[in-house]
Amino acid sequence: MQHSFTDIPRHIREACTPQMRRVVEHQLDRLATQPTPADTPPGSVAAARADYLAEREFWNVGGPVMHDTRELTFDVAGARVRARVHRPTDSPVLPAIVYLHGGGFMLGNLDSHDRIARVLASASGAAVVAVDYSLAPEARFPQALLECAGVVADLALGGDRYGIDGDRLAVAGDSAGAVLALGTALLLRDEPARVTEAATNPARVNASLRAMLLYYGGYGLEDSASRHSLGGFWDGMSAADLELISDTYLTDPRDRVSPYAAPLTADLAAPLPPAYVVGAELDPLRDDSEELGRRLAAAGHDVDWSIVPGVLHSFLHFGRMLDAATAAMRDGAAFAARRFAEPGTDAHDARPPH
C-alpha cells in the first residue's frame, strides 16, 4: 500500500521538524518506487535485508573522508567476524570507538552505517571499529552479544596489533546496536568468564571502556506511553514490528528479562562506563532512553542524556538532510573524546566484577 505524509497521525506530523518531514517524504517516495530485488522472495528476510541496504545507500553518500579505511577479521565467540576500521588521521596509535549497527538484530552490515561511523571518527579523532556481527534469525541471542564483547576484549588486550590504544576504548551503537553496546559493557562487568577473549585479564578489559554512546535503543520497557502512541508504517516501528524483532532475536521467552537483552533489568547502580544516551521524541522507544538516562543519573553515574525533539527512530542515518543527526553524532563523539583524554584506571586497581 502506498502512503503519503498526510497518512501519518496528526500528532506526529505536527511534531516533526521541517527537516524530519522532508526525510519522511523522501523515504515514502522511495518505498513507492523501489522494487524488491528480483532474486529475493517478497516478504523474506533476504528481501528485507536487500531493501534495507538499498535504502541506506542514499544516506551513506558523502560525509567525512578518512585518512585510512581497511577491513579486519576477528575470530571471536566461535565465529569469524568482519570489521571495518576508519582512521581519521595518520596517527600510528588511536583510541577507538567500537560501533555496533542497528537494524533490529536482523538487518544491516558494515555498509548500511558507514557514514555514521565516519562522522564519529572525524568528530572524535578516534578510530572507529564497525563490527559486522552475526544476524538473527540465523544467529540468535546471545551470539551477536558474545561476538561484540569478544571484539572489545580483543582490542583491549591486543589493540597494538591494529594501531589501537587498547586502554582507551568506547562502545557505541544505534537502536539494536545500542542494546548490544550496553549489553557488552554489562556482560564484561558481570560475567566476563563467558567472553573467552576477556578471560586472561577481565579487569583490564573493563578498565579499557571509557565511554558508551547509546542512541535510541530498546532497553527493556515493554509497556510505555511512547510505545502506545508512536510508531507505524512511516518508521517501521509498529507494535507488530517490535514484537517481530523480539521473536526473531531472542532464543527463549525468558531472554526478555535477561540483563543483556533488556538492560533495564540489570544492576545499573554498579560501576559502568560514562554514558551518552540519546532518544528521539517521536520514537516508540523514547521512554526506554529516558528511563535509562534517569536511572543512570540517579545512581550517580557520569551520564549525559537527552531526547532530541521532532525526530523519529533511526534519525542518525539522515545526516544528508537532518542537522539534528549530525549534531547528535558530533556531541557523542565529543563526549567520548573528553573521556579518552582523562587519566585511565590502572587495570590492577579496576573494580572486579561482582
Residues belonging to the active site: 175
Cell representation of residue 145 = 552479544
- Beta strand 79-87 pairing with 127-132: antiparallel
Q: How far apart are CA 109 and CA 94, in angstroms?
A: 24
Q: How far apart are CA 293 and CA 286, in angstroms?
A: 11
Would you give per-residue pLDDT tens digits along the chain (354 residues)?
Answer: 789 999 999 999 999 999 999 999 999 999 888 765 556 666 789 999 999 999 999 999 999 999 999 999 999 999 999 999 999 999 999 999 999 999 999 999 999 999 999 999 999 999 999 999 999 999 999 999 999 999 999 999 999 999 999 999 999 999 999 999 999 999 999 999 999 999 999 999 999 999 999 999 999 998 999 999 999 999 999 999 999 999 999 999 999 999 999 999 999 999 999 999 999 999 999 999 999 999 999 999 999 999 999 999 999 999 999 999 999 999 999 999 999 999 976 433 333 333
Cell representation of residue 123 = 568528530
Element of type H or E holding 80 = strand 79-87
Cell representation of residue 267 = 544492576
In 3D, which of 166, 88, 147 has the Cα closest to residue 333?
88
CA 292 distance to own-chain centroid: 15
The label of the residue with cell 552479544 reads 145
The count of residues in the chain is: 354
- What pTM value is reported for the model? 0.95
**Structural domains in the chain, sorted by start:** 15-342 (3.40.50.1820)
- What is the tally of helices (H) and strands (E) in the chain? 11, 8
